[in-house]
């Protein structure tokens, strides 16, 4: 019996040790693997885990990528929100209506849409058919004739008053009548001038000649209105004058018009508005920008030809609308815009071309937050791989991929934290083609490019392990 019991106890003991070893293998297995692994195996494992960081490019490759490297410097950067907008006329400033001063018939149209006119230029000729205007002219002629008769009577009776044969009161009464007629003449003259007659035409009426036609002219500019545009002139090399463009005709040749009826619309697009449209949740940002006068960058969709001079104006929000569009659920805000124009001559006439036109779509970048002491790179200078972001530092033909911390990015720029990963004033970073560099880096290392483990020292020199 004892002979069979000892082997059974031994087998049970061995089984217990095996079970204990299996349950605690996570504790003793690393000791065994560390003892069994050689230094060569550890080096190979580390090289396998290390990602490629160095890329070598020839000068031709850099030219093909249009690759440019520049030193980096800390700076400030504004985070912005992008808001759609449109260029619109400035109410009460851009458009001007021209009305008929009296009832009449349009017998001549002197300016058509597209023509350039200056204040005082003739626009229409009207044949008067106003009974009131005819009566005013008749009363003016009567008053002028009456004054002439009173003056002759006064001259005739002055001699009788001097020798005492005529009372002095008679002369005083004639002088009072003359003063009343002169006052009536001034009233009639002002009435005719207000109806569109020129001073020369009013003088003709006073001489007894009725005026049957009047000229409708372009209005004078408003006080403080800036409408100076450079125009070419045949007599002078160049002159500067306020101008309007005939935008739309409201009447036709031969049409009868009433007093106050609009004949045409004149446009002057020198002073415009940029109308931005934003949602209610963005109102605090816009209010802060308007209150502090922060400059707004505007992307114009149609200004990329470079033929216009740069716009020398700081764009800022003037005011915010206090109503919300019920259809789009947006509210408007307005940015003043000073327009630029140039002219050209054709067929003896001068035409005008404005840089910005009402209806043109724009994008407004409204500042909302300032980043201080940051590094700003073009958007193409940083590449992302999952949660990681990389920029490329240049040293001769070599480019080193450096991990960076992105604080903010938009369509044009990437804002990086100045946390020591890059050295301002020392490092030269590639300003674009980061995605292409990253692809070439992986392809080059997979085909046996730079040795594994190679890296840059702090002084910029390249270190290859084992050399």
- 60-91 pLDDT, tens per residue? 888 888 888 899 899 999 988 899 999 999 98
Torsion of CA 186, 192, 196, 200, to 10 degrees: -70
Task: Give 221's Cβ-side CA count (13 Å radius).
Answer: 17
pLDDT at 415 over 60: yes
Q: Long-range contacts for 354-357 (Cβ within 8 Å, ≥24 apart)?
A: 354/269, 355/303, 355/308, 355/311, 356/87, 356/269, 356/272, 356/300, 357/87, 357/269
Domains and CATH numbers, the chain: 49-76+371-463 (2.40.420.20), 82-92+268-369 (2.40.30.170), 96-113+120-226+253-261 (no CATH)
Q: Tokens 């005011």 — which residue?
A: 319
Both tokens of 376, joined, read: 């700003």
Distance CA 305, CA 144 (A): 65
Question: What pLDDT does 278 receive?
Answer: 92
Return the higher-pLDDT residue of 155 and 135.
135
Phi–psi pair at 309, nearest 5 degrees? -65, 155
298: closest CA among 135, 329, 289? 289
Both tokens of 180, joined, read: 């009343």
Question: What pLDDT does 346 receive?
Answer: 86
pLDDT at 5 over 60: no
Return the higher-pLDDT residue of 166 and 320.
320
Both tokens of 94, joined, read: 């851009």
Mean pLDDT of all residues belonging to the chain: 80
Question: 439: which residues sit within 8 A by CB, 6+ positions away?
Answer: none
Distance CA 407, CA 7 (A): 72
Q: Please state, for a pLDDT cut of 70, what percent of the chain lies above it.
A: 76
Residue 450's pLDDT band (boundaries 50, 70, 90)?
A: low
Each residue of 411-429: b (16+ CB within 10 Å) or e?
eebbbbebeeebeeeebbb
Average the pLDDT over each of 2-16, 85-99, 376-390 and give the range with the smallest value. 2-16
- Rounded mean pLDDT, 280-302: 88
pTM, two decimals, is 0.67
pLDDT at 302 over 70: no
First CA to last CA distance, the chain: 72
3-state secondary structure of 149: helix
Count the neighbouring beta carbons within 10 Å of the beta carbon of residue 87.
22
Both tokens of 366, joined, read: 């409204």
Count the neighbouring beta carbons within 10 Å of the beta carbon of residue 341.
19
356: closest CA among 263, 275, 413, 412? 275
175: closest CA among 201, 199, 155? 155
Question: What pLDDT does 288 receive?
Answer: 92
Residue 421's pLDDT band (boundaries 50, 70, 90)?
A: confident
Question: What pLDDT does 228 receive?
Answer: 44
What is the bridge-based pairing of β-strands 406-409 and 104-109?
unpaired
**pLDDT 10s digits, 204-227:** 888 888 888 888 989 887 655 544
Question: What pLDDT does 222 receive?
Answer: 65
Specify whether the CB–CB gap between 246 and 266 falls below 8 A: yes
Question: 15: which residues sit within 8 A by CB, 6+ positions away?
Answer: none
């Amino acid at each position: 019996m004892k002979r069979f019991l000892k082997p059974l106890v031994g087998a049970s003991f061995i089984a217990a040790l095996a079970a204990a070893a299996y349950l605690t293998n996570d504790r003793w297995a690393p000791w065994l693997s560390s003892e069994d692994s050689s230094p060569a195996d550890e080096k190979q494992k580390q090289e396998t885990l290390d990602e490629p960081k160095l890329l070598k490019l020839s000068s031709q490759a850099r030219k093909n990528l249009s690759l440019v490297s520049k030193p980096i410097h800390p700076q400030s950067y504004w985070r912005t929100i992008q808001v759609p907008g449109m260029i619109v006329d400035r109410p009460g400033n851009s458009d001007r209506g021209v009305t008929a001063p009296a009832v009449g018939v349009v017998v001549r149209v002197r300016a058509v849409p597209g023509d350039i006119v200056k204040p005082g230029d003739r626009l229409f000729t009207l044949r008067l058919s106003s009974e009131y205007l005819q009566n005013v002219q008749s009363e003016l002629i009567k008053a002028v004739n009456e004054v002439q008769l009173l003056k002759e009577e006064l001259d005739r009776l002055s001699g009788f008053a001097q020798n005492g044969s005529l009372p002095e009161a008679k002369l005083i009464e004639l002088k009072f009548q003359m003063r009343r007629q002169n006052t009536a003449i001034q009233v009639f003259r002002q009435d005719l001038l207000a109806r569109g007659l020129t001073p020369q035409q009013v003088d003709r009426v006073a001489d007894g000649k009725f005026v049957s036609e009047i000229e409708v002219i372009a209005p004078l500019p408003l006080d403080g209105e800036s409408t100076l545009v450079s125009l070419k002139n045949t007599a002078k090399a160049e002159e500067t004058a306020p101008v309007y463009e005939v935008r739309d005709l409201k009447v036709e040749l031969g049409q009868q018009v009433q007093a106050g009826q609009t004949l045409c619309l004149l446009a002057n697009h020198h002073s415009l508005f940029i109308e931005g449209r934003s949602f209610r949740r963005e109102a605090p940002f816009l209010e802060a920008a308007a209150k502090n006068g922060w400059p707004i960058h505007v992307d114009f969709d149609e200004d990329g030809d470079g033929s216009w001079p740069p716009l020398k104006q700081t764009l800022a929000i003037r005011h915010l609308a206090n109503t919300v569009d019920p259809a789009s659920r947006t509210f408007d805000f307005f940015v003043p815009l000073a327009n630029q124009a140039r002219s050209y001559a054709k067929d003896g006439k001068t035409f005008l071309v404005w840089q910005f036109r009402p209806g043109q779509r724009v994008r407004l970048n409204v500042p909302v937050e300032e980043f201080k002491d940051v590094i700003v790179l073009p958007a193409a200078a940083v590449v992302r791989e999952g949660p990681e972001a990389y920029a490329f530092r240049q040293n001769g033909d070599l480019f080193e991929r450096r991990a960076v911390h992105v604080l903010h990015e938009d369509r044009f720029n990437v804002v990086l934290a100045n946390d020591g990963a890059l050295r301002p004033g020392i490092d030269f970073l590639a300003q674009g083609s980061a995605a292409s560099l990253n692809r070439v880096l992986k392809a080059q290392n997979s085909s046996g490019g730079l040795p594994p483990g190679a890296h840059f020292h702090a002084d910029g020199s390249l270190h290859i392990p084992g050399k």
